[in-house]
Amino acid sequence: MTDIQKNAQPLAPAYTRAGVDIAAGEDLVEKIRAANPAIGGFAGLFPLDEERFLVGCTDGVGTKIELSLQMNRLEDLGQDLVAMSVNDLVVCGARPLFFLDYFACGKLDVNLAHRVISGIQKACVAGGCVLLGGETAEMPGFYQPPKFDIAGFAVGEVHRNALVDGRKTEAGDVIVGLPSSGFHANGFSLVRKIVADQNLKLDVQYDLLDGQSLGEALTHPTILYPKAVQKVLGQAPVKAMAHITGGGLRNIQRVLPDGLTYSIDRAAIPCPPVIRLIARAGDVSEDEAFTVWNMGLGYVFVVSPHAAQLVLAALPQAFVCGQIIRAA
């Protein structure tokens, strides 16, 4: 669509059929928030002293593990894990400090685990943090080899006067986006269901994918955004930021004050060919796709119209894709 679209609210029936209930997840967050109002952001803030907050968050990579195993792209999976946490961490303006990983398996395959953790180590360097340690859990009978699961935990810091919390956001502000590299590490339960239902072959190359096989395109790692974010924060006043993960564009609403919402020009977002291919194969409507996948929008900055030009100058890959409006 080339026109400005207000944020859609349908809750992805195809994703529900794939076994993931977005509404249930949101309901759980609301129940937890009722007891602890600090819960629900991209990362949690702990007051370290009068000047600084420690910032922490955790995430995993979901069922992308299945495809990464099939495609033997284990180091890239390590980057996915780091990116999913540090990209959340920097949303509030924090600087990543260190990262911890958790690797769980039925029987430890040392070479497999080493490849994943090597990818984590390399991504930590690229993301500006230190791999401080981790845990390897061997649970016979719980995971059937070679299956495993991984989780990550990132900690950073932000000075109070540098905190980006969305409170100064106002109608008329501009949304500037950074592109994604594909599905990143969200929505893969639906991706895998479409691949299976339509009998798509991971080793088949497609012209639409510039000669890549479907499996290669699906397992491309999540982009690490911290260095780009730090560059922008050093050159432009940023009012809010969002990492576009599970739930698609709905992540933008999470950082906006009450009374405000957003409009997005979908045509301004460079949707990766692999997302278009999977959406078409699964007959997933555009509205639904934007509630499940990032659709090519990996990260957003909310800034004044003047500051938008500063962001575009700092990051050549950035693009204007929407604006903040008053909620109806």
Chain segment 207-253, per-residue pLDDT in tens:
899 889 999 999 999 999 999 999 999 999 999 999 999 899 999 99
Q: What is the model's pLDDT at position 35?
A: 47
* Helices 305-314/226-233 angle, 10° precision: 130
Tell whether the model's pLDDT for residue 2 goes beyond 50: no
- Binned at pLDDT 50, 70 and 90, residue 7 comes out as very low
Q: What is the model's pLDDT at position 61?
A: 97
For residue range 169-210, list pLDDT tens digits in order: 999 999 999 999 999 999 999 999 999 999 999 999 998 998
Domain topology for 1-38+164-328 = Phosphoribosyl-aminoimidazole Synthetase; Chain A, domain 2 (3.90.650)
| Residues 153-189 as b or e (16 or more Cβ within 10 Å = b) | bbbbbbeeeeebbbeebeeebbbbbbbbbbbbbbbbb
Q: What is the model's pLDDT at position 31?
A: 60
Intrachain domains 1-38+164-328 and 41-161 with the same fold: no
Domain residue ranges of the chain, discontinuous segments joined by +? 1-38+164-328, 41-161
* Distance (Å, whole) CA 206 – CA 204: 7
Q: CA separation (Å) from 206 to 73, 219, 273, 277, 318?
A: 19, 15, 10, 10, 27
| Residues 82-112 as b or e (16 or more Cβ within 10 Å = b) | bbbbbbbbbbbbbbbbebbbbbbbbeeeeeb
Give one word for 12, left, alpha or beta, with left for phi > 0 and alpha for psi -120 to 50.
left
Give one word for 127, left, alpha or beta, with left for phi > 0 and alpha for psi -120 to 50.
alpha
Token digits for 309?
Answer: 């030009």
Tell whether the model's pLDDT for residue 19 goes beyond 90: no
- Average pLDDT of the residues in 307-322: 97
Q: What is the model's pLDDT at position 41?
A: 81
* Distance (Å, whole) CA 123 – CA 140: 29
Which superfamily does CATH assign the domain made up of 41-161 to? PurM-like, N-terminal domain (3.30.1330.10)
- The answer to whether the predicted template modeling score (pTM) of the entire model surpasses 0.85 is yes
Choose between 213 and 9: higher pLDDT: 213
Maximum CA extent, the chain: 58
The answer to whether the CB of 21 falls within 8 A of the CB of 246 is no
For residue range 283-292, list pLDDT tens digits in order: 999 999 999 9
